[in-house]
Amino acid sequence: MTFRYDFAPTPFGDALAVFSDEGIVRFDLSESEDPSVPWLLEGVTRQLDATPEPDPGAADELAHLLADYFDGEPVRFHQHLRLDWRLIEGFPLTALQTICTIEWGETMSYGEVAVLAGHPGAARAVGTACRLTPFSIIVPVHRVVRSDGSVGQYGAHPERKRFLLDLEAG
């Protein structure tokens, strides 16, 4: 199995896109002004037990989809990209696949996702799955909100979550 990486632009800065032979395996929004810093690849290298190689242009299709998305088009990334789920398993995988069914502009509570994923009462586990997603934006974890309708977190950036929800609200 080979792994390669490229960067795709977002309003939050360039994001790291890592691909396997099976599809996209990770999409991370950088916390750094320079997404090419070495530590950005360290975590995914440990997870994959392999070092992804640079592949300029590998994220071109993703970049076009992201541009459409940020222009306000209701892109369903999982229908256009092959997702390689190897970095997540068990209930978090089920929860994230359930989250993929949330339509553009709609939200669900963590508890509602837990019920749909077959584990009523596992709202906190859904929150953990959202935090651990290997696919920021691509799997729309930003559409999962608290039961009172408040935004909650999005990693350490609730303002990004609010931006994405506002974008989809049109």
User: What digits encode the pLDDT tens for the residues 122-149?
Assistant: 999 999 999 999 999 999 999 999 999 8
Given a cut of 90, is residue 30 above it in pLDDT? no
What is the mean pLDDT of the segment spanning 2-15?
94
To 5 degrees, how large is the angle CA 46–CA 91–CA 87? 20
Query: Of 134, 128, 101, 155, which is closest to residue 164 (Cα–Cα)?
Result: 155
Residue with tokens 């909100």: 145
Question: Beta partners for 19?
Answer: 4, 24
Query: Of 14, 22, 153, which is closest to residue 87 (Cα–Cα)?
Result: 22
Distances (CA, A) of 86 to 15, 79, 92, 134: 20, 18, 12, 9
What is the spatial distance between Cα 132 and Cα 128, in angstroms, rounded to a whole number? 6
Q: What is the pLDDT of residues 75-118, one digit of tens each?
A: 999 999 999 999 999 999 999 999 999 999 999 999 999 999 99
**Between residues 167 and 36, the one the model is more confident about:** 167
State pTM to two decimals.
Answer: 0.91
Q: Which amino acid is at 12?
A: F
CA torsion sign, 42 to 47 to 51 to 56?
negative
